[in-house]
Structure 1
């Protein structure tokens, strides 16, 4: 009995035009497809679950040698992470696919300490595995080849998938910041405003900030729990629905949940806000010159960025 997650090979007579058309149809329909999900169960939340996640997350951290090597030359790794994010967004993947794929890529490179001949094939292989773990209808190998402009073949992608699985010894379900966020959001909502719409907005903004951290190599050595807590802390400050005293209490509660010092959480929160301002400034460089002064005035880092003014 074989345990390989093999896909049916495409017929040799299928033309590249047909594959491209299928890829476009998948993009157009990806956002409209709905997946059945269980409702939030409070019995699987709370301090017991968070403590278990905190205990397990250390197992999936990349090695310090890999972190040091990447932070010396982070461009290639960030390029692959941003490409993976674009692919996941284009295909309408579940929010857990992208962080899982980046975690798989970092753990593979941490174990091998060498970049394969086709780096995009590696990133696509990680997306393929993460999609199979998370989604009912996973991203296909042909679609990923089309997204990479056919720089590799589906057969090469499946070979890369086997190499990744063998290197990681099939231990693929890593802990990511997105695993902590629903528990942190539930704990914070009990201490403040618990409106459904506000909680949904808070979760969406926190997910976006956590995804931004996954693309930035400066956060590579941070535990997922700390990234999740700092992202949620920044989202709370950006929404501006709470006073300074209440924000301070929530920040202390988040530091207690992820078992870190409030000063450390504050430091990472400021790093996330700084990274966000950098991304916004890079986007401002593309606007017409007559609007540049007005936009730069609104982006001065005197106060936390208002998350409601950002189009996610």
Structure 2
């Protein structure tokens, strides 16, 4: 039995504590556990947990009155930026978004309370998934103090009650490592995992994937990442592991590719006066048929 420690002590970093001071925090994160990733019980347990916490209805149509889909995208993008700046562990962000979605599926709130909910979800997720949780004061500072610590503490109890104290929720991030460990091409390119997790983060900001199971999101993002890196693979390997129809996985993978193309398309400045200009030859401005060449995308 190998009991060696694979932590990298060089991962300690400097993080602001919300009061303007910078403190040294131990940010050591253990590497992948190969024994756990290959355990035959892991994927079945994750799939069961996925079904238990699945969303079955679009809460924008049946529950929420004031909250609109674009508001969710704005707040989840803000959450992702906070997690990246604070160097949170990978599972914190998708878990926090999952908490938000499950809360919004049960109770209607106003748009003024959405960022308060996001702050509370980040607080709970960081407490649950990393050794050094984000502080309440730090999270409030990220909102330009529009959210008060007293409100966050009150909502923390309310969010826990709405979640029935079930904080262990399977996210797409949880599926990526076990899936890559079980396919023969999973370790062919070390960038597949990094790009797949980046695509997964993008999917969690999009309301289009709200009702898609996390396992299917993971399969689609791994497929899109592998294709973009030109890794020889087959989507059937992943579908077999997750009991997912190949047609559904391919459909979601292509949708992930379209989202990637949309998010990475450069924004052209708007001209004040637009005049028709005759062109001698048509310009080639269309996107390629397979927009998954992500080697040129900076992650």
1:82 counterpart = 2:77: yes
1:139-178 matches, within 5 Å, as 139-178=134-173
CA distance in 1 between partners of 2:89 and 2:72 (Å)? 22
Structure 1 residue corresponding to 2:242, chosen from 237, 249, 258: 258
CA displacement, residues 261-311 of structure 1 (integer Å, 9 cap, x when unaligned): 111111000000001111112x34369xxxxxxxx9697222342221110
1:113 Cα deviation (Å)?
Answer: 3.2
SS of 1:92's partner is: coil
1:120 Cα deviation (Å)?
Answer: 0.8
1:241 Cα deviation (Å)?
Answer: 3.1
Conserved in 2, the CA contact under 8 Å of 1:116 and 1:122? no
CA displacement, residues 86-113 of structure 1 (integer Å, 9 cap, x when unaligned): 1111111111100000000000111213
TM-score (norm 2): 0.82
Structure 2 residue corresponding to 1:303, chosen from 280, 290, 295: 290
SS of 1:112's partner is: coil
CA distance in 2 between partners of 1:297 and 1:308 (Å)? 21
CA distance in 1 between partners of 2:86 and 2:269 (Å)? 26
Aligned to 2:277: none
Distance 1:163 1:192, change over 3 A: same
SS of 2:55's partner is: coil
CA distance in 2 between partners of 1:297 and 1:161 (Å)? 52
Aligned to 1:126: 121
Aligned to 2:130: 135
1:80-229 matches, within 5 Å, as 80-115=75-110, 117-188=112-183, 191-192=184-185, 194-195=187-188, 198-199=189-190, 201-229=191-219
SS of 1:64's partner is: coil
Conserved in 1, the CA contact under 8 Å of 2:34 and 2:181? no
CA displacement, residues 42-67 of structure 1 (integer Å, 9 cap, x when unaligned): 25534431122111101112241416
Number of matched pairs: 270
Aligned to 2:223: 233
Consecutive unaligned residues in structure 2, runs of 5 or more: 1-16, 271-282
Structure 2 residue corresponding to 1:51, chosen from 35, 44, 63: 44
Conserved in 2, the CA contact under 8 Å of 1:273 and 1:304? yes
1 or 2, which has the higher helix percentage? 1
Aligned to 1:276: 260
CA distance in 2 between partners of 1:123 and 1:233 (Å)? 30
1:62 counterpart = 2:55: yes
Stretch moving more, 81-90 or 46-55? 46-55
Q: CA RMSD in A?
A: 2.6
1:68 Cα deviation (Å)?
Answer: 4.0
Conserved in 2, the CA contact under 8 Å of 1:255 and 1:265? yes
Distance 1:152 1:179, change over 3 A: same
Distance 1:140 1:299, change over 3 A: farther
Stretch moving more, 297-306 or 50-59? 297-306
Conserved in 1, the CA contact under 8 Å of 2:140 and 2:149? yes
Consecutive unaligned residues in structure 1, runs of 5 or more: 1-17, 288-295
Conserved in 2, the CA contact under 8 Å of 1:252 and 1:262? yes
CA distance in 1 between partners of 2:87 and 2:130 (Å)? 11
CA distance in 2 between partners of 1:37 and 1:193 (Å)? 20
1:212 Cα deviation (Å)?
Answer: 0.5
